[in-house]
Amino acid sequence: MLKKRLLLSLAFAGALLSGGLAKATAIPATPEPGAVRIALEPWLGYGQWAVADKKGFFAKEGLKDVTLVNFNEDKDLNAAMAGGKVDAACVSTNTAMAMVAAGLPVKAVLLMDFSNTADAILAPASITSIEQLKGKQVAYEEGSTSDVLLHYALAQAHMSMADITKVPMPADSAGGAMLAGRVPVAVTYEPYISAALAAGKGYHRLFTAGVDPGLISDVLIVSDNMIKNHPGQVLALLRSWQDALSYYQANTADGRAIIAASVGSDLASLNTAFDGVTYYSVPAARAAFNGNFKTKTFNDVLKAAQQAGIVTGTVTPAQVLDADFLNAVQ
C-alpha cells in the first residue's frame, strides 16, 4: 500500500475551472443530477469512500453516478483536477493550503481523517528526545507530510532543520535506510512504520503526529464551480461519508476488509495502520471546522508547511475551509 500525500505541483494553478465562489445560502437537500468524480489515492484514510461505494450509500443519498478515480501519483491527480476531469479530491491539509495559496479555486468541505501514530519519527532506543537529533542524519521525504511533521517536531524543541543533517529520500525508503544502518533516524508513515518496528532492532516512535491531532490530516476539496452549481451534490457526499463511517463503526471487520481491498493490501498487514488513524464523523468535522482545527491546528499546519517550503505566502482558514455544508448536514 502506498500512501501518496506529497505536495501537489502548482504549475497548473491557472488551468482549473475559474469563477468566483458563490456561497450557497440555501443548500438543496436533493442533489442535482449528473456525475460526480472523486479523485483519491491508495491511502486508508480515504477508505470510507470505498465503503460508501460498496454498500450503496451514494445511491441512498441520491447520487446516482459517483466514480472513485484512483491515482498512484500526485501529478496525475493534479492533471485531472486541472482539466476538470474530477469534481473533488482527497488531499492532505497542507496540500489544500498550498493549492489555495497558489490561487486555485477550491475549498475544503470535510475533514476526513487525522494521523495519530501512523506518521512518526523513528529512532533507536538510545535517542529519547527531539533535542538528541542535533547533528544527526534524518531521512525524510521533502514536500510530504513527513516534511511537515519533522519541521513541527523540531520547532517544538526550539530547533530548526539547520540543527540536523538532512537526508532526503522517499518515505517508503526512509525506514529501510534506517534499518540498514545508513541513517540513525527516519520520518515515515504506515505501513512503513510497522515494517520497521517489526524488524525487532529496537527502534521506536520518537515523535508522532498525534501530539497535535489534525497536524497530519486529510480533507475533501471540491471546486468552487461545484460549490456554486452543484451544492446539493456536495451535501450528499458528506451524508454518504457519514453513512459509510456509521457502517464502519458498527461493522469494523467488514469495513476494514473493503478498505484494504480498495488500497490493494491484505487486511492483516493493515491492522496496525488502521489503529494509527482516526476518522472524522460529520459532527466531529463540523466541530473541528468551527472550533479548534480552525483556531489552532490550521495555524500549526500552516506554519510547519511554510517552514518546509510547501506553502508559499499565507492563507487564512476562511480562504481554505468551507463549513457551510458540514453545518447543513442534519
Predicted confidence at residue 271, as pLDDT, reads: 79
Q: Is 299 helix (H, G, I), strand (E, B) or coil?
A: helix
Predicted confidence at residue 79, as pLDDT, reads: 73
Looking at per-residue pLDDT, the higher value among 103 and 150 belongs to 150
CB of 330 closer than 8 Å to CB of 235:
no
Q: Report the mean per-residue pLDDT for the chain.
A: 89
Kindly state the average pLDDT of the residues 282-304. 94
Return the percentage of the chain with pLDDT > 90, whole number.
Answer: 69
Which of 18-32, 66-80, 105-119, 181-195 is predicted with the least confidence, judged by mean pLDDT? 18-32
Predicted confidence at residue 78, as pLDDT, reads: 67
Return the CATH number of the domain spanning residue range 13-115+214-328.
3.40.190.10
Which of 5-9, 141-145, 172-176, 315-319 is predicted with the least confidence, judged by mean pLDDT? 5-9
C-alpha to C-alpha distance for 182 and 115, rounded to whole angstroms = 27
H or E segment to which residue 296 belongs: none
The pTM for the full model equals 0.86
**Same fold flag, 13-115+214-328 and 119-211:** yes
pLDDT at 25 over 90: no
List, for residues 153-171, the tens digit of each pLDDT value.
999 999 999 999 999 998 8
Predicted confidence at residue 15, as pLDDT, reads: 40
List, for residues 118-158, the tens digit of each pLDDT value.
999 999 999 999 999 999 999 999 888 899 999 999 999 99
Kindly state the average pLDDT of the residues 98-116. 92
C-alpha to C-alpha distance for 94 and 171, rounded to whole angstroms = 17
Give the gyration radius of the chain's Cα atoms. 19
C-alpha to C-alpha distance for 166 and 163, rounded to whole angstroms = 9
CB of 233 closer than 8 Å to CB of 31:
yes
pLDDT at 290 over 50: yes
Predicted confidence at residue 23, as pLDDT, reads: 46
CB of 185 closer than 8 Å to CB of 139:
yes
Kindly state the average pLDDT of the residues 182-193. 92
Query: Per the CATH hierarchy, to which homologous superfamily does domain 119-211 belong?
Result: Periplasmic binding protein-like II (3.40.190.10)
The domain ranges of the chain are 13-115+214-328, 119-211
Predicted confidence at residue 77, as pLDDT, reads: 75
What is the DSSP code string of 20-49? -----SS--SSPPSS-EEEEE-S-GGGTHH
C-alpha to C-alpha distance for 187 and 123, rounded to whole angstroms = 9
Sheet holding 277-279, edge to edge: 66-70, 36-40, 88-92, 217-223, 106-115, 277-279
Predicted confidence at residue 250, as pLDDT, reads: 98
